[in-house]
Amino acid sequence: MVALKRWLNVKEFENEFGIASSTQAKWRKEKKLPYSKMGGFVFYDRNLIDKMFENHCVVGVENG
């Protein structure tokens, strides 16, 4: 099993989740995306991102 990196930079986040850096910037500005900033660099905590996705989960309705 490969351990996942806890902290992702903008490019790593884009590659892993398919969310463009411009969309990330928009969501950060709108306070929709949790992030940390150090020395002008943006980092995402995987634990907070996972929670964000879980909190925005849409449950489908079964056919039938």
Residue extents of the structural domains in the chain: 7-55
Res 57: pLDDT:
83
**DSSP 8-state class, residue 5:** P
Residue 47, number of CB atoms within 10 A of its CB: 11
10-56 pLDDT tens trace: 999 999 999 999 999 999 999 999 999 999 999 999 999 999 999 98
Res 61: pLDDT:
66
Res 1: pLDDT:
77
8 A C-beta contact, residue 7 and residue 43: yes
Q: Which pTM does this prediction carry?
A: 0.81
